[in-house]
Structure 1
Amino acid sequence: MPAKKTFSDEQVVEKIMQLFWQQGYYHTSMDEIVAASGVKKQSLYNALGDKHTLYLKALQRYHQQTLTTCAQNMQQLEQAGESALTVLGMLFSQGLTTEDHPSGDLMANAVAEFGATDTAVQHATTWFYDDYLTLMAAAILKGQASQQITARQSSMTLAQSLLEARIGLQTRLRQGSRPDVEQRKQIWLTFLKA
């Protein structure tokens, strides 16, 4: 009779996600994953898979957590009557200035490590950025409708430019640089203002 599982998959994946986020895929050994998870190696393999599978699960968890937080924050700001520019500013800087997690963005780190060499990782990062882009474009479209945000370009074009600026900031943060995120946000909001 198989042994009863004594751990939560979600909690284990959360710990592993934090480790990959801090160290990257290639600089994280399976022994470090086992130590961080607190689960025996064979149990980890049986329940959640190998290192690559765990990495994909970590990317999926990051995607879910980040987009859920952004959507909730958007809804709260909109319900409070905040402007589309305020919502967009939140989306631009969300998670970049907190000390609660490793520097940068797990997805930006994945792109930097893998580029286009791993189809599954590329799919995960593209899916994440497409969803983030959709949130930004929706905020811009609302701002354009209320004449708060420039309509000289489409909402999608503006959102793509803003997202690329955010990814650049995430990369700089991961490199150990300390760019002034608030200043960059204000520059972009000034640029986007109608």
Structure 2
Amino acid sequence: MARTKEFDPEAALQSALELFWQRGYEATSMADLVDRLGIGRASIYATFGNKHDLYLKALDRYNENRDAVLLHELSQPGAALPAVRAVVRRFAAESSSAGQRLTGCFVTNTAAELGAHDPVAARKVEASWNHIETLFHSALARARAQGELPADRDPRTLARMLLVLMQGMRIVGKASEDPCRLRDAAEQALALLD
């Protein structure tokens, strides 16, 4: 007879996500995970695989949660440009806020720490960025079709610019305590939508 799990795998995955997000992959040991999750090493391996597998599952969870929020924000009926502007401004504010500033974005952190030497993590980062770009592109294409965005503006290149801006804001926000730097950059980029 199979044993039943004596812990909630979803809660454990969320705890692992938070720990990896705070510390990064390399700085998080299996002992740290055992302590944070409150379960034994064997249970971690049996449920999630090795540390790398667990990290990738945590990254997937982060993307699922973040993507659902972005999809909701950028796909509301009606005018599309106000939603795009709100998302960019939210990223600028979060990137300079005390709570988000030091942790940054889990995807951006993964790109910086693992992207150059971990092809699986790099593919997940690229997939995440492609999804964000697609969400922006769809909203900006809708804005152009509705006459909110000038006809000479290319929704695809604007979406790429916003993606790169937002990822950059997460990096700069981790080291800078000046919220004006991020806010000004966001507003300058948003001026391209006029």
TM normalised by structure 1 equals 0.87
Unaligned residue ranges in structure 1 (runs of 5+): none
Pick from 70, 85, 95 the counterpart of residue 81 of structure 2: 85
Match of 1:117, SS state, is coil
What's the C-alpha RMSD, in Å, of the aligned pairs?
2.0
Alignment deviations for residues 95-120 of structure 1 (CA, whole Å, 9 cap, x no partner): 55166655310010001001331111
State the match for 1:22 in structure 2.
22
Q: Which has the higher helix share?
A: 2
Structure 2 residue aligned with 1:126 = 126
CA distance in 2, matches of 1:67, 1:99: 23
Alignment of 1:50-89 (within 5 A): 50-75=50-75, 78-79=76-77, 81=78, 83-89=79-85
Residues 32-52 of structure 1: per-residue CA shift (max 9 Å, x gap): 111111111111111111110
Please tell me the residue identity of whatever aligns with 1:92: V
Contact 2:91 2:169 in 1 (8 A): no
CA distance 1:95–1:58, shift in 2 (3 Å): farther
Q: Percent identical across equivalent pairs?
A: 28
Structure 2: tracts of 5 or more residues without a match: none
Give the corresponding residue for 1:173. 173
Distance 2:91 2:16 in 1: 19
How many pairs are equivalent?
189
Q: How does 1:1-194 map to 2 (within 5 A)?
A: 1-75=1-75, 78-79=76-77, 81=78, 83-94=79-90, 97=94, 103-180=103-180, 181-193=182-194
- SS for the counterpart of 1:131 is helix
TM-score by length of 2: 0.87
Q: Note the alpha carbon deviations across 1:5-26, whole angstroms, 9 max, x for none.
A: 0222221111111111111111
